[in-house]
Amino acid sequence: MGKPTGFMEYGRQTVVDREPLERIKDFDEFHEHLSDQDRKDQGARCMDCGVPFCQSNYGCPVDNLIPEWNDLIYKGKWEDALWRLLKTNNFPEFTGRVCPAPCESACVLGINEPPVTIKDNEATIADRGYDSGLMIPRPPAVRTGKRVAIVGSGPAGLAAADQLNKAGHLVTVYERADRIGGLLMYGIPNMKLDKALVDRRTGILAAEGIEFRTGVAVGLDIDPNDLVEEFDAVLLACGATNPRDLPIPGRDLNGVHFAMEFLHANTKTLLDLGGTIPAGSQNGFISANGKKVIVIGGGDTGNDCIGTSMRHGCSQLANFELLPKPASERTSEYPWPTYPRLYKQDYGHEEVDAKFGSDPREYSILTKEFTGDGSGNLSGLRTVRVKWEKKPGERPSFTEIPGSEEEWEADLVLLALGFLGPEQAILDQIEVDRDPRSNVAAEYGHFATSKEKVFAAGDARRGQSLVVWAIKEGRGAAYQIDRYLMGDEGTLQGS
């Protein structure tokens, strides 16, 4: 490494965020970059650790060559750092913003010191690549004449499209929404991932020869079997969009919505109206303005619902989590280098704390019933506290605590309870086998389904997961599709 003692000389310094009470006034990204020298110092903190667990199975799913580009950052070789990063990751400008950074949890320095700021370093490399004019369309010099259809334009579909197009194949991506990006466009709010960044990257992909067809729902507008007949290969990258419900009394009351209903409508309205959000509800837009909001479910999606509700101007907000409050530091349950479940304040929690004076989260709480106002509208809900236990060799389980029942006022409840797999209609039509969790059955590493010419990748194959895993899957599926189309002379490198 260029600075063997860097980790002893420089402390961890993350990006600076705008103040919570200021940033909730808009939907702009709220991170501010470090200076060049500060960023070089952060690159210098990467140790010559011998075995870089950051790029192991515990760390980065796409096998980013992290120590190499950290060293290049320290040396100021930004262009070399960009090419090294793009060698393994198609979309570092996305993962550098939205990835939970398992690489940092696996950082060797993180055993007894704050880990290297790998995620921030990655975003900086990508952003500088655009600023310096290096990120431009580079169409393939030769076309193979082979045609591939990809269903879904999320990170798995886009990564596969990028790889297959580089190999010279003719790629057509089908997206049922009105904009390209899938989860990147409508599942993640703008303050966390600016949609101009998504449009910029997909614009480059289009200029390189990838055909995007928006507003086309495969399974409704087009029979997926027609794609199998028309194309040389088909990739199902349609995500795991079947939300987990909470089927308790009162679920049908007006004011109870799935998280993605809320987030999708918010971003679509924001983009359609040129960056503004109206105070009321219109055209399917769900407003939290002036409302008592309860978000049920933690995780990134729950936090995104919190941050979005704060920007709408909600009057109060609570966040219910069935699981107990996590520990603040690693426990024996999460030894290094595994990714730990730890207590931390994400951006949405910080914003609620700043405005209302307390963390919004309530742990070990179970919602039993939604209550109404007598006119079909939500007015509140009833809960009970639970106690968690784990017996040796068994999964954790909970019991309700007698006498802990509570009632809560609410005008809007958002269900952020995760997803149960892909929507089944298209899978039924194309007649591919499913695994026990209703995902498309396709062995990892091969990605081929039970139907000839049809492959699967991303959340549709592995279930709900991270953006970085979707990119990994898309790259792997592209590698196998290329081999399927071209035989041993396939042009793509290993996934």
Q: CATH classification of 256-415 is 1.10.1200.10, yes or no?
A: no
Mean pLDDT, residues 410-429 taken together:
96
- Domain boundaries, given as residue ranges, for the chain: 6-131, 147-241+420-489, 256-415
* Residue 197 clears pLDDT 70, i.e. is over it: yes
Instruction: Please state which CATH class domain 147-241+420-489 belongs to.
Output: alpha beta
Assess whether the region 147-241+420-489 and the region 256-415 belong to the same CATH fold: yes
Q: How many percent of the chain have pLDDT more than 70?
A: 98
Position 118 scores a pLDDT of: 97
pLDDT in tens, 309-333: 999 999 999 999 999 999 999 999 8
Of the pLDDT bands very low, low, confident and very high (cuts 50, 70, 90), residue 48 is confident
> Which homologous superfamily is 6-131 in?
Alpha-helical ferredoxin (1.10.1060.10)
Of the pLDDT bands very low, low, confident and very high (cuts 50, 70, 90), residue 275 is confident
* Structure-model confidence comparison of residues 277 and 387, the more confident one: 387
* Residue 490 clears pLDDT 90, i.e. is over it: no
Of the pLDDT bands very low, low, confident and very high (cuts 50, 70, 90), residue 41 is very high
* Residue 353 clears pLDDT 60, i.e. is over it: yes
Global confidence as pTM? 0.96
* Residue 282 clears pLDDT 60, i.e. is over it: no
Question: According to the 3-state scheme, what is the secondary structure of the chain?
Answer: CCCCCHHHHCCCCCCEECCHHHHCCCCCCCEECCCHHHHHHHHHCCCCCCCCHHHCCCCCCCCCCHHHHHHHHHCCCHHHHHHHHHCCCCCHHHHHHHCCCHHHHCCHHHHCCCCCCHHHHHHHHHHHHHHCCCCCCCCCCCCCCCEEEEECCCHHHHHHHHHHHHCCCEEEEEECCCCCCCHHHHHCCCCCCCHHHHHHHHHHHHHCCCEEEECCCECCCECHHHHHHHCCEEEECCCCCCECCCCCCCCCCECEEEHHHHHHHHHHHHHHCCCCCCCCCCCCCCCCCCCEEEEECCHHHHHHHHHHHHHHCCCEEEEEECCCCCECCCCCCCCCCCCCCECCCCHHHHHHHHHHCCCCEEECEEEEEEEECCCCEEEEEEEEEEEEECCCCCCCEEEECCCCCEEEECCEEEECCCECCCCHHHHHHHCCCECCCCCECCCCCCCECCCCCEEECCHHHHCCCCHHHHHHHHHHHHHHHHHHHHHHHCCCCCC
* Residue 67 clears pLDDT 80, i.e. is over it: yes
* Residue 68 clears pLDDT 60, i.e. is over it: yes
Mean pLDDT, residues 136-152 taken together:
97
Position 146 scores a pLDDT of: 98
